[in-house]
Chain A
Amino acid sequence: EAGVVQSPRYKIIEKKQPVAFWCNPISGHNTLYWYRQNLGQGPELLIRYENEEAVDDSQLPKDRFSAERLKGVDSTLKIQPAELGDSAVYLCASSFPRQGRYEQYFGPGTRLTVT
């Protein structure tokens, strides 16, 4: 079974430039998450999708961040314009909650460096 796929793996951009990340979840997983992980910290949720609906985007900085999951499968996360403080690893995860099980499976992440 293929895992969660993310691209690109690394991205270096100058501040004020736009950037986009792509995620393809595990087949059949209807829940998709985007996390940001700063150095030395645990992942922090940015947005959670149930199928194509964003059910929790309370931590997404909506002035510059946007996300979509149009067909309820793969998803993109965009930052425009990027700021120096956006440098982090952006992780995508997916899950298929059933019978009370909520374990999430993570992709390899995208390391973003904003200069």
Chain B
Amino acid sequence: EDKVVQSPLSLVVHEGDTVTLNCSYEVTNFRSLLWYKQEKKAPTFLFMLTSSGIEKKSGRLSSILDKKELFSILNITATQTGDSAVYLCAATYNNNDMRFGAGTRLTVKP
């Protein structure tokens, strides 16, 4: 069965800490791995990864994919309270199918 598993499910840190969020996947005919940030309601797109070992970076956020070990990580450095959100990863596979993980709820305390 196709699945995407994220860990940890929740994380509490203090401002300035660095966090690493994990996402593992098992899907048929994998195409890409996506990361989203969800505050309140709508998930907003962060990164799309298709190739192993190539880091995607946006400000304090970065992500990398390992297609051999079937996982991705999302790093956030120098965390801020505004980073508090649920971070979702999703694997696209087959012909435009997409499966989400349950998400990691990150809380950044001042």
Contact = CB atoms under 8 A, between A and B. Distances in A.
Contacts of B102: 40-42
Q: Is the interface of B mostly helix, strand, loop or mixed?
A: strand
Given A102-B34, A102-B98, A108 B42 contact: yes
Contacts, number: 60
B80 interface: no
Interface string B22-59: 00000000011010100001111100101000000000
Interface of B: 4, 6, 31-32, 34, 36, 41-45, 48, 50, 88, 90, 92, 96-103
Interface of A: 4, 31, 33, 40-45, 48, 50, 56, 89, 91, 95, 97, 100-109, 111
Given A89-B41, A106-B43, A107-B42, 9 more contacts: A41-B102, A45-B97, A100-B32, A102-B34, A104-B45, A105-B45, A106-B42, A108-B41, A111-B41
